[in-house]
Structure 1
Amino acid sequence: MKRLDGKTAVVTGGGSGIGLGAAKRFVEEGAFVYIFGRRQAALDAALAELGPNARAVAGSVTDLADLDRLYETVKAERGSVDVVFANAGTGSFAPLGEITPEHFDETFDANVRGLVFTVQKALPLMGQGGSIILTGSTTGVMGTPAFSIYSATKAAVRNLARSWALDLQGTGIRVNVLSPGPTRTDLAVGVVGEEAMEALGATTPIGRIGEPSETGAVAAFLASADSSFMTGGEVFVDGGMAQV
């Protein structure tokens, strides 16, 4: 029996990168997956890879009406949600002295505010055995030059999981953080550059950058009953970058 047989999962930022890697693994494990993202072309391409056990809803986590439409669709078609992977996010470089209000607002709106309401709006559809997975980052526990605002959002995500684990006591719903290190995604390569990404990966104990499929495998573990005694925690998939 597959680990997620009969489960319904929602993945934000599911059109590419880590979100798509997780969505693929969820489908392989037997789940029906809703991917949510802003770029229709990316969603269409992702659906072509995911097959018939997936559905795309276009929208932004920063737009509460879009989130309402996402969960109304899930409720109408599936009735409930078992797994929420709050993965959508953004980031760009801005060293201290060059941080603008626009840079701050854009990063916190997507990575913190959007994540909060992605989770909160799912709660009425969730119950016993539910799993919430939040995308963190090695930057949440490390100093990173010119990346302080993004890093601060990921530190906030880490504390949200700790606090929500207490808020969710007695509900049967678990919440954990999945924190990737350098991973081959469109966002990461776009911000850092391919050459810099490869160089960064070479500094990890494993000696390379990660692939979205590797992070997706860990997301499937956190989504499944195999992680039933885990909540409020953080799992790093970072090649050892933040561990040694």
Structure 2
Amino acid sequence: MEPLLYTYLFIFGLIFGSFYNVVGIRLAHGKSIVHPRSHCPKCGHTLTAFELIPVFSWIIQRGRCRNCKTSVSPKYAIFELLTASLFTISPILTGWSKDLVVALVLISFVIILAIADLDSGTIPRQVLLFFLGTGVLLRIFIPMETWWNPWLGALAGYIIFTLINRLQQGSRKNEYALLAAVNGLFIGIPGIVLVMVIWLFNQIKGSSGERHRTLPITTILSFLTLLMFFVMK
């Protein structure tokens, strides 16, 4: 029975990974995730069902658009396979328990955030708000062993970065406060520390006048959040 469950998780991971590619890239550019249908960004060719099979379509088409033969980045297949792999190994690390649900949601958050970050260097606010609401519901029904830890982490993180934003008189929407709140809900107080590292890195980078990103720090810290979640199990 268990091998079958692992197989289901892998297949669902491939499907969701394909969807997360759409969500991460489109929201990063302020586009709708439902319209228009998936298409080649070069020639506009609308992709058929055969061209949307996760991983396999990219392999069969040799990483090219069937219509215009333009190269298709392997990152789509990589994130599909990565999502499927993380989904599959999660029960090994959490057991077949309620924590598995939390793990799958956190994996989804991390994957979407990484896709958006690597594509455009942004943190889509819609993603943060969605997973903030999801995290609240999860922690109501699936509390951590120390029940107050995620709530304190989320509240403290949001307050700290809201105050920093106001002191700096920043005009940007307060993504860091939302990111800290989401991280706090999933891994508690350590989540604040990870977001602080992202913020400090960007502050140093900004003050040095560096215009080009040399390191996808948001992606790295997102996966560190996931790693810390599993280590804490």
Structure with more strand by fraction: 1
TM-score by length of 2: 0.33
Structure with more helix by fraction: 2
Structure number, greater radius of gyration: 2
TM-score by length of 1: 0.32
